[in-house]
Amino acid sequence: MLREIVLDTETTGTDAKGGDRLIEIGCVELVNHIQTGRTFHRYINPQRAVSEGAFAVHGLSDAFLADKPVFADVVDAFRDFCGDGRLVIHNAPFDVGFLNAEFARFGAAAPPAIDLEAVVDTLIMARRKHPGAANNLDALCNRYGIDTTRRTKHGALLDAQILAEVYIELLGGKQTSLGLGMVEVKEAVAVEEEGGEPVTVGVRKVRSRLTPEEQARHEAFLAGLGAQAIWRDYLGEEGSA
């Protein structure tokens, strides 16, 4: 089983080494390249002012962030959510640079730095697949027909959700199997709800995206194929009469 975490951040500015800080983290969980519905999202008090340029991008003001937790109060929940999942980030050096700068502020107690070499950078993927073309997130959404009408401002969780769709397109398409039902994931994970405590669960099920009517039509289609449908041989399914 492949578990990946699609991640995006928002910041006070563009210079992590110069003292700019994280103000928002958004993560989306993928299992075998399918969104499971599990997400992580936190706003963070950066303890410094947001630059005018950054505010124009994401719209997160100093007043809005003033009562949010500091990074030290969310880092454990963030790391628990990510676990050993492989990170997927667009322009990874930017986000990883900010995360590692935040980790470094813990001094001797700092969490291990994120190894950039272990991160999937979708910007590199896009440049290889579309050399010479614009490969920012908006351009990729336009290229792949991904709806961005919800995106009036940059937001870490929304951008991570959109990036998850872009990532699947960069891999070659949305459909990774012929199965359209529930997917059982046998993995012990800590699920943290907003404002709640982490709860460890064993087997999770990823909900089907089909409506009951679509599921019924799908089953009727399969029944009409009969027992001799050759794709059943590859999936190991028994034919229906």
Q: State the catalytic residues.
A: 154
Q: How far is CA 203 from CA 59, 102, 177, in A?
A: 39, 33, 21
- DSSP assignment of 118-155, as one string? GSEEHHHHHHHHSTTS--SHHHHHHHHT---TT-SS--
Is 10 marked within a binding site? Answer: yes
3-state secondary structure string, 25-58?
Answer: EEEEEEECCEEEEEEEEEECCCCCCCCHHHHHHH
Residue 47 CB neighbour total at 10 angstroms: 11
Q: Given the structure tokens 């089907």, which residue do they identify?
A: 208
d(CA 215, CA 181): 8
Tokens of 239: 């034919």
Is 90 marked within a binding site? Answer: no
Alpha-carbon Rg of the chain, whole angstroms?
Answer: 21
Q: Are strands 3-11 and 86-89 parallel, antiparallel or unpaired?
A: parallel
Is 80 marked within a binding site? Answer: no
Which residue numbers belong to the known binding site for substrate? Answer: 8, 10, 58, 159
Which residue numbers belong to the known binding site for a divalent metal cation? Answer: 8, 10, 159
